[in-house]
Amino acid sequence: MIILELLIVGTLIGSFSALLGLGGGILMVPALTLIFHLPIRTAVGTSLVGIIAASAGSAFMEKKDREGDFRLALRLEVATTAGAVLGSVLAGYVSEKMIEITFAFVALFTAIYMIYKSSRPKHLSIPDDTGDQNAVESLFYQNYQPRHWLAGLSMASVTGAISGLLGVSGGFIKVPVMYSIMEVPLGIATTTSSIMVGITAAASVFIYYMRGDIHPLVAIPISIGVFSGALVGNFLLPHARVTWLRAGLVGLLMLMCGQMIMKAAGA
């Protein structure tokens, strides 16, 4: 039954997202177009609903000493939301092939980012629940002041446009921008990003809704699956071999990139 397949796919995507710190859109859109053969705009609209589900799930499960910076999130959302509205409007005028090709390159970029992330020193990664309080404190320390706002806001607007056009959360851009450019602690950058992705998706989702690009029979099972998968992923996080999962995801993203390009080329 196709609803069950959607639930399973959504759960797997939600688990991967929780384990690897991705928003899920980068997996949802290709899964819906390549496995379920949905038009890309429908896949993007569905993905945006799923991202809101994942963001809401993260918000309810967020731990007290690992909170995001809501004020920083809102400041960046001024630019991100504007970009998201523009991207989602643009999606109605751009051909499906162009969207598929753009998505393929974003998937490739995400794979490269995952490789870069795995090569970073271990102490700069978000710790799992091993009780390492020193690691938590170093990644969530409070005495920081965000800098380079112009660069941060510029990249935020680009991220919003990508999110609105392709249905991805953009966390793979937002987190490095906040951490590397704006000098926000990595832990706070990651949790702040999870706050932002829901608001960014909300900016675009109504445009896709009113264009008739959201089908409830697809969006609802996927969203329920993603939400459940996020819970499963958070539960499995202390026990998971994230390195192996990351390697598998990189391979999957490369494969999806090739498949999306071939689909766009009509092969």
Partner 1 sequence: MSIKNITTGLNSIYKTCRFNRNFPSILCIVAFLAIGLMVFGLAAGLLQPVPYSFPGPSTLSISQIVRPVTSNVGLVMMSVGIILFALFPSLRVLSGINQFRHNHEIINLIIAVIVLIELTAGVLLIFVMKGVRT
Interface with partner 1 (CB under 8 A): 2-3, 36, 38, 42, 49, 52-53, 55-56, 59-60, 62, 64, 67, 69-71, 74-75, 77-78, 81-82, 84-85, 88-89, 92, 142-143, 145, 198-199, 201-207, 209-221, 223-224
What six digits make up the tokens of 211? 């264009």
Q: Which is nearer to partner 1, 17 or 55 (CB)?
A: 55
We find the least distance from the C-beta atom of residue 38 to partner 1, in angstroms, to be 6
We find the least distance from the C-beta atom of residue 224 to partner 1, in angstroms, to be 7
Orientation of helix 242-264 relative to helix 96-118, angle to 10°: 160
Q: Which is nearer to partner 1, 67 or 128 (CB)?
A: 67
Under 8 Å between Cβ of 30 and 259 = yes
Q: Which is nearer to partner 1, 159 or 223 (CB)?
A: 223
We find the least distance from the C-beta atom of residue 119 to partner 1, in angstroms, to be 32
Q: Which is nearer to partner 1, 4 or 265 (CB)?
A: 4
What six digits make up the tokens of 46? 């569905």
We find the least distance from the C-beta atom of residue 99 to partner 1, in angstroms, to be 15
Beta-carbon contacts of residue 163 (< 8 Å; ≥ 6 apart): 25, 80, 83, 84, 87, 169, 170, 197, 200, 201, 204
- Give the Cα separation of 239 and 172 in Å (integer): 23
Under 8 Å between Cβ of 194 and 59 = yes
What six digits make up the tokens of 252? 């999957």
We find the least distance from the C-beta atom of residue 141 to partner 1, in angstroms, to be 11
